[in-house]
Each structure stands twice: as structure tokens, then as C-alpha cells.
Structure 1
């Protein structure tokens, strides 16, 4: 074939390629699109002429033809990478335009936020979340606000967020898709619709999401909020996330945790465009930080990532255990609870521990997950009510295996000791101390035998402490002291009493306040609350 004939044969192909790239720029920016189109036209012209010449050339130039084909592939991949880069820049510009629009709205009201420095913003950003803005002023309009989640005047500078002040409870309260009143939205640079090009290796397209807030402020907002959510919106056709057992697309949270897309209908719709939403939400949710996609079947694919949204007020640990509405905010259990309630000044605080009131030092210029945020100092001996008693007998007692009753009450603060039955009923959970003393007297017997008398401390029918006197003499012995003491942990409603046990030819508890010799006050029982468990 002659060179002229080769040119004539290839001219229709060149005409089609030229028309395809000349008819419409490949970018929204007209200037950039013309530059790109001109580059492609020049490249195709050179490639066409080179191919024509080589087709007419001798066979020994086959190696040069293969080299040209390799160069073509490299140039194509380079141009595709440029297209992806331009799409990413367009996305960033669109996000910046959204912020500029919000600033213009503020300027139209007579304010000039562009002249405000950080210190002025610190003074303005007294609220930590949009939820607090709504609570302080329900009539505030929705829009951009400065807030300071990690605390006013401490930590990182305030952040500029969008607050949905008057948003309705859409979709039956399904706020994950439609923000509700008081929702805080942290914006980022990947909110506009973006494409991924035609890369085919698993996760070959990667996109880092840059939020307009520091990591510290994002963490503080998560900890203050009841719930957080984010949505990944997909516009796709013939694009699987998992293909032949291989994951082609996934994303990472800010803490580095990787997550795959568990469902996807895009690969089932070869000839139809499809939109799908992946909602991720939960208490303490981490924001999405990096996306990885692939296009193994050369389908069409674009994605969007919504702002990181948080709403409501996080419940304190005290709230989760509260039985009445009055208890919900009354008993913080940690410095983190105090921070949720609005405390910001470093200092010593009292919080509810596992069993007693604890004294802690809270350093609120740190976040709860940072070292030194809370330091335990000790605990306080707090009792909700005084509980102690001191009772006596005034007559002899010899009946065994029944609670020992008492006749005289010297002290019975809290009313927990019932004299006629001799039973103490614990009013509150805690640790109690009990002490009993008495005199055992044994009668004379004709022959030496073992005589004994025991005093036992019982809890709910179970013996927990015992003291015993043993005698083997023939003659009576009127002064045989017997004592029992114990520290007992009780739950509210537990019952404690003293019960005597008498052996064969045993004795009795001596006490007679009317006697001329050794009158009363020999049998004593007392107890008190050492430490209350709250």
C-alpha cells in the first residue's frame, strides 16, 4: 500500500476522532476544556500520521510500532489521572462556594465576619453545640454559627458549622436523612458530586476528606451529642463493590477502622442509572476520613458524602440509672458527666462512685480521652441519714434459739432497731458494726458437768458470729462475761439480731435492774452504720 493510499484510508477514522473531541470540552471550565481538547487533537493527528507511515513501512519496524502503542497507553493513563485531579479541584471549589454563600448571607444582615479575629470568635462562640444554641434561643434562624465544643476560651479555636435550628422532624423522626432541630453539621471538602474515572484495580481511587474542624473539636462534639450520623450517596451504573469474591471499594473512619459496603445494587443495573444511600450512625460515631473506589467493569459512578451531623445532648451515666426525673441531673458519676452538664472550670468536684461519693480533680481543658482529664483524690463519708442504736435488758433471759428482746432504748436514731422483737432492719445499703456484751450465770448441779451458754449474731436467719462460755464447776458462777462483735455488709431490708444458745444444765443471761447487788445494765446491744453505699 502506498503512503498516499494509507492516508486516504485512515482519513475517516481521524475525522471521527477529531469530531468526538472537538464537539464538547471534557471539563466544566471552558478554557481548561479547550486546552485539553487541543492537546488530544494534536496527539491524535500525530498518532494517525505515525500509524499511517508505519503501516507503509517495512516489517522490520514492528518493534517501533509496539513502542508507539505502549506510549499511547501511558499518555492515556496520564490524561485520565489529570481528569480525576480536575474533578477533585472542582469539588473543593463547590464546597468553598457553599461557605462563601453563607458568609454573604451574614454580610447582607450588616455583619462582617471576615474581619473578626480568633479572639472575637472565642467571645462569640459561647455555645458548644447547635443543640445548646436552640436551648438558649429557640427563635434563632438556621445557618452558619461559630461554636466551641471543647470549651469556651480553652483548647482549639471555635469552628464554623451549620446549625439546623428550625428543621422539622422529617420522615417520622428519621433524622439520619433529614436533620432535626438543633443538628450540628461540620462541613468538608467532599460534599459535591464526584467521579472516580476508569481505574480498575481494587481501591485504586482514593479520596481523603478534609473537615473544616480540628480533630479535637470533632471528638468534643461527638462526646457532647446524643447521636451522630453521616451518609454516603452513590450515583452508579454497572459498578460492583465486590466482584468475584474481591472487595473493590471501602472506606475508613477517622480512628483508622476500615469498613466495606455491605450491599450494592449498582452492578445489577447495567442500562439504568441508580442512586443509593449508605447511612452510618450511632453514639460516638467517628466521621468518614478516606474513601476507596474502583470501576472494574467500566461502568459509571459518582459519589457524595454529607456533612458530619450530630444532634441532641449526650446522656450522663447518672441519667441511665435514674429512677425519677429529679435524679436525672443530680448525681454526676465522673468528670465526663460534669463536662456534659456544662462545667468548664478546672477544679475539685464530688461525683458518685460505685459505692460512695468520690472526690476527683477535673481538668476540663483536656478531653475525656486525654491523660489527666480526671484524677481520683479520695472519697467522702456521706450518709443520707444517721443510723445507730444502743439498747439494754433489765431482766434475766434464758430462752434459746429465738431473737433476744430488749426493754430499754438509750439511743435509736433512724428507728431501725425494734426492741420487743430484738431485730434490727437495715434502712440503707452499707457496712454496719454490731457489738453485744452480757453476763452468763450457771446454776449449781450435783455432779460436775459441762455447762455452756453462747451468744450468736444472725443475719436473715444465718449465723455469722458466735461467742461462748463453758463451765464445769459444781458451784454457781455469777460473773461470766460473754461478748460478740462483727462488721457486716447489709442490703436495705436485711435483718440482724442476737440469739442465745444454752447447753445441758446451761445457764442464762443475768440482768435485774431492781436487784440490790449488781443492778441492771449487764446485757447491751449496739450498732451503727459505718459506710453507706449509694
Structure 2
């Protein structure tokens, strides 16, 4: 009798089933007194009944699929009527309800349509996520131009204005039948859009999600370690339903289980596998794939894929941001990002947005230790990154910098009738944010009459972030050593000087 409970089955068809079952029951009652040949015929009749039952169940599933498609078509017609009743001309407004018949701009998502004209009503629209004139043909989708409150139909999704919904053939509730082997019921989801267009929409959107509702009565996802139901997403990998669900108990009450996915690499659902091992019942209903918003893009594109997301669709040569330089690439947008030759690197342009360099000198002796070495004279300070009075260089941009320091260490001679030898040493360091980067020093040992002047030099190439600080300071000065700084007035020049410049900016 279960086969005749559906509203769509005809009375004659149900009568036939009842008559067949009545004959089977009468035959069974007389089986004990029947001759052997009659018993064989009854057994054959039972086998025929099982075959017929399985055939009819398959027919019911097929009819439910057709009903789902008819309901989708009715919804399209209702949307068309709603648009026409509001006084919109679909072709003139470029929101064609039927396939466009002339060359007019077709936007990529319902979000873009809503931004272009917020007065458009909810309904069926043509969009072309992979770009008009290239790739696959436009697709017919439902655009929700309102932001409805959460209810049973969208509890799992943040409904916002301009939400794109892709229809498919499994939106109505479908019975999984009575097969008992794990995953014996299989349902592939066929969408009203190509895989290319679906993936383009997902890439364009801020978020995409989809849910499934499953009404179960003794139809379990998993029992005693055996998995009876699972599903597949875009990645083609088998995935099990959560173990903490309503459909894990063998009681005889019907329960509703809901699950959803919103991972960009997994949506949409592509196939479901169910089983009915304990002769209960199971019915599934899959929502449309819904996407909303625009995916975030970087301010400066780094690839052809970024350019495509921004909206570029014309094949050609573009400049993109590389790791260190502006690179030139050829983008072939009539291919997909995962296809060969979608992007070809041509070269790069070495572009520096700022000129940064300095050269400073000292005019005075300096003996103080553990403080930045100040300077009195600026020969060049392009970019104003060097503070002359404090002697501190502050990096204005991220990049690689070169620094060079040269000084003259002076040690006074010992005086007195019988001078005692002492150690003579002077050192200078290069510091970055208080951490020592490079060391240079002179050591005269224990001498009474050392060489009076000795040069100190150091160089270093450093990677700096904007705001990093660099300076020189004396870290050791024994027995009166100091940096000689008197300027030669007759022969201009300084014995102690510091310079640096930006080698390469990080963009």
C-alpha cells in the first residue's frame, strides 16, 4: 500500500497494485494444499512481485525528478509574470527572463545586477560569471533582490540583497526507496549551469553555501561502525555526514536532519548515497546553490586571476605586482585559470616610487659611548630619512638598504717621566632598532707610544621595514680613544662620515 500513498499516482495504477497483492495473498493461503507445480508458480509470482516493486520504486523516483523540473519551470514563469506586472521590460532593462536575442551587456552575478539597479525585483535573470563573449554560454538563475529573514529555507545562509541561486533537478523531496546495501541509493545533482560557470560564480562571490534536509525513520547514516550514507562535493572526495545527528537511532519516529556546506573548495553538492537497511524510510531535499557578495580582491592585482576577478575579460598584456617588481604578463581570459597558457610572464619593470639616499659628516671630536653618533654637516639627504642632530636614519619604505661608515680613531700619547703601557682600543657598531648589525674596531694593545690615528670602516646591506631605525654608536673606548672629527678647512673634507641609500624597494 505504500506505493499508492503518493498524490501523483493514478487510481487505476493503485488498483492494479491492490489486485496483484490480493491474488498473491489468496495464493499463499492455499499454498500448503497446492500441488508442487502450483507451489512453483507461486514462488515465481513472488519473484515477479519483488521485481515489479523495484521497477515501480524506480519509476516513482523518476516521476519525482520530473515533477521537480516542472516546479522549477513554473517558478520561472511566475518570476516572468512578477517582472512584467511591475512594468519592467526585460530586454530593455537587460534583465532578460528568456535567453537574450540581441547583443546587450550581461552582468556576472545577481549582486552586480542589484548594484546596477536596486529597483529590479526578485526573479529569474541571465548572468554570465565567466565573462560575456568568452567561455560557456550565460546561465539562467534566480536573483533574490531582497534580504528575507532567516527561516527554515535559509537558516544556514546569510541572505542578502542580490543573492544568486542556481537551480537543479533535486530541489523537491525525494524518497530513497528500500535498498539495503550501504550507499545503494545514488542521486547525482544536475545543475542548470555548467561546471565552468558555477566555479566562476563561486570565485566571484564573497560566500557560497548549500544545505540538505533528510527525513529519516530507521534510515541511518551510520550504525555499528558501518557507514550507510555519504556525499560528494566539487572536489570529488567522499565525505560522511556528521555522527552527532538525529539519523543515528533505530527508533520508529520520523526525524528531520539538516546539514550544510560553505567551503569554497567543496560546494556544490554533486552526489548523495543513501541506504535503507532496516526497512524504514528516508527522503532528501537539497537546496539551491546560493552565492552573495563580491570576493575580496587585493588593491593591486598580482596575477591574471586577480585581473579576472576585478572584471577584465579581454586577452592582452597587463602589468601586475610581482614579489619585488612590477611584472608584465599576457592574460588569455578565454581560458580558465587552471588551464595552460592562461597566464604567461613576459618580463618585469624595475620601478622605484621613491629616491632615498644620504651622506653626512662630522665636524667635531666625539667620545661618548652607547649613544647614536650625531653629525653636523649634511651633504645630501634625499627623502629626509636621516635626522642630522640625532644621527638616526628612519626607513620611509620597505626595502633593501646599503650603509657605509668611515671614521678615524685617535689615541692620545701617554705623558710623564715613566709612562705605564696601557691597552688602546676603540670600536663602532651599526645598530638596527637597538640590535647590533655590524662591528668595526681597532686595538693597539699595550703600547706607550701607539700610532696616533687609525681608520675604522664598516659596510652592511640590510632589509628594513618602513619605520625601522639605523644608527652608528661607539661601543668601546679604552684609554681615552675617540673619533677624530676636526674638519680640514684648507683641504675640505671630514675624517668621519656616514652614508646610505635604498637599493631596492619592496612593493
Contact 1:440 1:510 (C-alpha < 8 Å) held by counterparts? no
Structure 2 CA distance for partners of 1:521 and 1:252, relative to 1, 3 Å: same
Pick aligned residue for 2:473 from 488, 499, 503? 499
Shift of 1:138: 0.3
- Residues 1:511 and 2:492 are matched in the alignment: no
Query: Aligned residue pairs: how many?
Result: 494
Q: What do residues 365-420 of structure 1 show as CA deviations (whole Å, max 9, x unaligned)? A: 34444444445556555555432211112344455655433221111223222223
Structure 1 contact 511–519 (Cα < 8 Å) conserved = no
1:464, 1:213 → 2: CA distance?
Answer: 60
Tell me, yes or no, if structure 1 residue 394 matches structure 2 residue 367: no
Q: Give me the whole-angstrom Cα distance separating, in 1, the residues matched to 2:410 and 2:255.
A: 97
Alignment of 1:327-366 (within 5 A): 330-352=299-321, 359-366=328-335
The residue correspondences of 1:35-184 to structure 2 (distance < 5 A) are 37-38=15-16, 41=19, 56-58=33-35, 66-102=43-79, 116=99, 120=101, 123-124=103-104, 126-170=106-150, 176=156, 179-184=159-164
Q: Which residue of 2 aligns with 1:296?
A: 277
> How far, CA to CA, are the matches of 2:368 and 2:66 in structure 1?
96
Q: Report if aligned partners of 1:428, 1:532 keep a CA contact under 8 Å in 2.
A: yes
Deviates more, 1:452-461 or 1:194-203: 452-461
**Is residue 453–residue 507 contact of structure 1 (8 Å, CA) maintained in 2?**
yes
Identify if the C-alpha distance between structure 1 residues 82 and 288 changes in structure 2 by more than 3 Å, giving closer, same or farther.
same
Summarize the alignment of residues 309-324 of structure 1 with structure 2, pairs less than 5 Å apart.
Answer: 309-316=290-297, 318=298
1:523 aligns with 2:496: yes
Deviation at 1:130, TM superposition (A): 0.3
Larger Rg: 1
1:343-368 Cα shifts (integer Å, max 9, x gaps): 33334444455666555544433444
Matched-pair contact (CA < 8 Å) for 1:228–1:281: yes
With over 3 angstroms needed to count, the CA separation of the structure-2 counterparts of 1:240 and 1:398, relative to structure 1, is closer
For 1:230 and 1:503, how far apart are their aligned partners in 2? Answer: 76
Give 1:132 shift.
0.5
1:322 corresponds in structure 2 to none
Distance 1:497 1:86, change over 3 A: closer
Residue 438 (structure 2) aligned to one of 443, 462, 465 = 465
Q: Paired residue for 1:408?
A: 377
Could you tell me how far apart the structure 1 residues matched to 2:153 and 2:498 are? 62
Is residue 404 of structure 2 the alignment partner of residue 423 of structure 1?
Answer: no
Q: 2 CA distance for matches of 1:173 and 1:186?
A: 15
> By how many angstroms is 1:100 displaced?
4.8
Structure 1 residue 218, shift from structure 2 partner: 0.4
Deviation at 1:315, TM superposition (A): 1.8
- Choose between structure 1 and 2: higher helix proportion: 1
Contact 1:236/1:273 (8 A) holds in 2: yes
**CA distance in structure 1 between the partners assigned to 2:13 and 2:154 by the alignment:** 47
Q: Distance in 1 between matches of 2:404 and 2:113?
A: 59
CA shift, 1:232, in A, is 1.6
Distance (whole Å) between structure 2 residues aligned to residue 271 and residue 520 of structure 1: 99
Q: Distance in 1 between matches of 2:380 and 2:6?
A: 95
Among 189, 192, 199, the alignment partner of 1:219 is 199
Give me the whole-angstrom Cα distance separating, in 2, the residues matched to 1:81 and 1:520: 99
Q: 1:479 to 1:208 in 2, by over 3 A?
A: same
Alpha-carbon distance in 1 for matches of 2:267, 2:84? 33
Q: After TM superposition, give the deviation of residue 504 of structure 1 in Å.
A: 5.1
Q: Output the TM-score relative to the length of structure 1.
A: 0.77
Cα RMSD, aligned residues only: 4.2
**Aligned with residue 256 of structure 1, among 228, 236, 242:** 236
- For structure 2, the residue ranges without an aligned partner over 5 or more in a row are none
